[in-house]
Structure 1
Amino acid sequence: MAKKFITMFALASLAMSMTVPVGSIQPKTVQAAQITKSKYGFDKQFKFPKIWRGKWYSNNNFTPNPMNIHTSAINLPLTNEYIKVIKVGMVKGTKKYPWEMSSAWQEKNQNVLAKYLRASSKKLRGSKWIVLSPVQEKTTKNGNAFTVKTEKIAGKKYKVLFQSNPEDGLVTNQFFKTKSLTDKYSAYEFKNMKYSKVNPR
């Protein structure tokens, strides 16, 4: 279930949010241009950029499996569970988003909601991050933020997938496209990124 995704870095996220003032970062959430309605408040499928797609490897204790990114879904590295990623709109027949619905409605539909994560965007520390968080929560603090950057390693350029707390942009994990790069550089700190000391890689 999608909630398992949140527990992967819950302790690190909590500790980081306590030590870094959120107001000092001032993340900007990018809203969907148009809002449509559906039974569960699903607006449309989110599509990951092509360079993001495929398997990404990490040596973090919370990622025993590769992070497999599909066009509009991911396999969670903790459980390898397939989760669809969407943009959120209003629930059909209401003027409410899923997080504004009653607890009874959320409980009734929890098995469906748990199969999805919602995507939003934030600018953190000068970079655009994609945030994946529970569909039924307005806040993104229980989610995880991701960005892909081109980094130079041993004189060659490689794509690196960074993961951070969505509140402060401090890197908690990083993924590489090959296991050999992961084994060599999983604990390496790139100079253009800021790293959390709470959840070492």
Structure 2
Amino acid sequence: MKRKKLITLLGAAAISLSAAVVGAAIKQPTPAQAASNKKSVKDKSFTFAKTWRTKWYSTYYLTPSPMEIYKTGLKSPWTGENVKTVMGVVPKTAKTMVVTPKKMHGDDWLILTPAGARNNADTHALTSKLEKLNGKKHRVIFEANPDNGKVINQFFKSEKLAKKYGNHHFKDMTYSEISPR
């Protein structure tokens, strides 16, 4: 009799144990579920300062269209596409630019790299400063080489300012010698 009870007890324990293992296995997310549970690009959005959020103009021939900066994205003057700006790693297929802060020549710069980029060919460095032009202060966005911080382009809030001061060298900035401006 004891033997039958022992076998029954062991059988019930084995069934309970296998049910627990199957239940635990069901609760484990698949790789696809795990990826979808990670924070989305939206959760990692980079927010531009309010002083940056507007349309910016340049006379530089490699930026034929104006740059429009939004709260968490921009209309690229280099490609004409609207892209999201994020911090961290994003899928290579997403239309995003990864933002990384960097200090160059004493200024704080934002390094913008297209998601999935393998080199710096499409990487841009931007900073914003108040500059005195003809006795008035104007905000200017400077674009520089992300490797050395030397300015290659500058953006203004109006086409008139861009045409008038597009080739102006500001004393507090370091300019590239091969700048095509």
TM-score interval (norm. to shorter): 0.7 to 0.9
Match of 1:131 in 2: 111
Question: 1:87 and 2:87 equivalent?
Answer: yes
For CA contacts below 8 A with separation 6 or more, give which structure has more relative contact order.
1
Match of 2:163 in 1: 183
Alpha-carbon distance between aligned partners in 1 of 2:72 and 2:155, rounded to the nearest angstrom: 19
In structure 1, runs of 5+ residues without a counterpart are 1-36, 90-97, 99-108
Alpha-carbon distance between aligned partners in 2 of 1:133 and 1:56, rounded to the nearest angstrom: 19
Alpha-carbon distance between aligned partners in 2 of 1:51 and 1:45, rounded to the nearest angstrom: 18
Alpha-carbon distance between aligned partners in 2 of 1:40 and 1:51, rounded to the nearest angstrom: 27
Match of 2:128 in 1: 148
Give how far 1:77 is off. 1.0
Letter of the 1:66 counterpart: P
TM-score, normalisation: structure 2:
0.73
Please give the secondary structure, in 2, of the residue aligned with 1:88.
coil
Please give the secondary structure, in 1, of the residue aligned with 2:126.
strand
TM-score, normalisation: structure 1:
0.66
Match of 1:59 in 2: 59
Alpha-carbon distance between aligned partners in 1 of 2:149 and 2:168, rounded to the nearest angstrom: 17
The Cα offsets for residues 165-190 of structure 1, whole Å up to 9 and x where unpaired, read as 11111001000001111110000000
Match of 1:74 in 2: 74
Contact kept in structure 2, 1:88 and 1:135, CA below 8 Å: no
Contact kept in structure 1, 2:67 and 2:76, CA below 8 Å: yes
> Which of the numbers 161, 165, 169 marks the counterpart of 2:141?
161
Percent sequence identity over matched residues?
39
Alpha-carbon distance between aligned partners in 2 of 1:183 and 1:146, rounded to the nearest angstrom: 20
Root-mean-square deviation (Å) = 2.2
Alpha-carbon distance between aligned partners in 2 of 1:155 and 1:181, rounded to the nearest angstrom: 13
Q: CA 1:140–1:39 in structure 2 vs 1: closer, same or farther (change >3 Å)? A: farther
In structure 2, runs of 5+ residues without a counterpart are 1-36
Please give the secondary structure, in 1, of the residue aligned with 2:164.
helix
Alpha-carbon distance between aligned partners in 2 of 1:59 and 1:126, rounded to the nearest angstrom: 26
Please give the secondary structure, in 1, of the residue aligned with 2:87.
strand
Name the one with the larger helix percent: 2
Please give the secondary structure, in 1, of the residue aligned with 2:149.
coil
The Cα offsets for residues 68-92 of structure 1, whole Å up to 9 and x where unpaired, read as 0000111011332101110115xxx
Q: CA 1:41–1:54 in structure 2 vs 1: closer, same or farther (change >3 Å)? A: closer
